[in-house]
Amino acid sequence: MVGNRPIKFRILELCNGGKWNYEIVEQIQKEYGLKGNFQRDSINFDIIELASGGMLKDVEVKVDEEGIYKKGFLLHKYELTDFGKIRAADACLMYV
């Protein structure tokens, strides 16, 4: 059952334990078969939208020194907020 629900649902699911944005993007690209930089940025924008919507919060930030994602830019580690858990539960995702 991979890659058949809306991308943002899956992002919420992945962030339950806390995850770095480049890890999320990589996994989503793989699961949904989305290739290329445009899709990569598009997925990252989904994460940003979820964060500014208050469903994710960044718990850790570091500068991308080695260019894992984009060199010189920030990498964010996200975790689900309480509000995010409620919204995820509305979307029938499994959380305690």
Partner 1 sequence: MDLKALKKQEHQKRVKYGYMWALFCAVLWGLWYIPGTTVWVLNPFDEMYGEIAAGSGDGVALIIVAVLITAFNALTVIVALAVWNGVLGKFGEMKRTVKEFHPCSKWFFMASIFGGPMAILGSFIAMGFVGGAFAAVAALMYPVVGSVLAQKWYGEKISKRAYLGIAFIILGGITIFGGGLITELGSGNVAWIGYLGGLMAAAGWGIEGAIAGKGLDIAEPDVGLTLRFLGENIIWWIIIVPILAIVGFPMFKYAFMAFEPLTLMVLVFAGITFGFCYVSWYKSFPLIGVGRGQGIGNLYGLFAVIFIFLFFGDVPAWTILLGGALCLAGSSIMFSEDTGEMESLRGD
7 part of the interface to partner 1, by CB under 8 A: yes
DSSP per-residue letters across 47-94: HHHHHHTTSEEEEEEEE-SS-SSSTTSEEEEEEE-HHHHHHHHHTT--
51 part of the interface to partner 1, by CB under 8 A: yes
Task: For partner 1, give the closer residue by CB, 27 or 48.
Answer: 48
Q: Closest distance between partner 1 and the C-beta of residue 3, in Å?
A: 8
41 part of the interface to partner 1, by CB under 8 A: no
One residue of 1, 2, 92, 96 binding partner 1 per CB under 8 A:
92
How distant, in Å, are the alpha carbons of 1, 5, 30, 54, 80 from that of 11?
15, 10, 13, 14, 10
37 part of the interface to partner 1, by CB under 8 A: no
